[in-house]
């Protein structure tokens, strides 16, 4: 059922990067910080995540709103990308330090240099795992 999928996708996102405090805001900011290529795109991602989280809350309170399949697809793609980036980061730079990664993401919201560093670390780690020849043959 489409409602179950929306709730499940949001629970996955919450498990991946959520905290108890200001949950919707933090999740939205962290996703936008990592995934947005520029401030405009980060703003769009932030608003979409807040919208999806609002829909989740409405559904859990008993309302049955219509949810577009494209919204579920978009949210699933955000989560897929976040999982890849997080796995890449925790395997190297932030191993056993999830809380430290969350703090760095929160700082990266306003620190473009830190944001770029985190994203570049994640991409490099991912490429090294995906292609063992990466270090000898950088793209």
Q: How many domains does the chain have?
A: 1
Q: Report whether pLDDT(35) > 80.
A: yes
* b/e code 47-76 from CB counts within 10 Å (16+ = b): ebbbebbebbeebeeeeeeebeeebbebbb
71: containing domain: 2-130
20 inside domain: yes
In a domain, 91, yes or no: yes
Is the whole model's pTM more than 0.85, yes or no?
no
Whether 138 maps to a domain, the answer reads no
The residue that leads in pLDDT, 20 or 30, is: 30
Residues ≥6 apart with Cβ < 8 Å to 43: 32, 36
**Using CA atoms, how far apart are residues 109 and 107, in angstroms rounded to an integer?**
5
State the pLDDT confidence band at 15, using cuts at 50, 70 and 90. Answer: confident
Q: Is residue 99 in some structural domain?
A: yes
Could you read off the pLDDT of 119-139 as tens digits, one per residue? 888 888 877 766 655 454 444
Three-state DSSP class for residue 120: helix
- Judge whether 139 lies within some domain: no
Q: Which of 16-30, 55-69, 103-117 has the lowest mean pLDDT?
A: 16-30
Does a structural domain hold residue 137? Answer: no
Residue 119 lies in a domain: yes
């Amino acid at each position: 059922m489409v409602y179950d999928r929306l709730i499940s996708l949001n629970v996955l996102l919450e498990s991946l990067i959520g905290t108890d405090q200001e949950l919707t805001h933090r999740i939205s900011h962290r996703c936008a910080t990592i995934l947005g290529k520029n401030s405009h795109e980060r703003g769009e991602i932030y608003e979409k995540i807040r919208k999806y989280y609002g829909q989740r809350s409405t559904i859990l309170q008993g309302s049955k709103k219509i949810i577009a399949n494209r919204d579920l697809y978009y949210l699933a793609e955000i989560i897929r990308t976040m999982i890849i980036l997080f796995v890449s980061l925790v395997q190297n730079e932030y191993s056993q330090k999830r809380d430290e990664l969350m703090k760095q993401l929160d700082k990266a919201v306003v620190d473009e240099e830190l944001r770029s560093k985190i994203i570049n670390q994640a991409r490099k780690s991912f490429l090294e795992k995906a292609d063992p020849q990466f270090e000898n043959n950088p793209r």
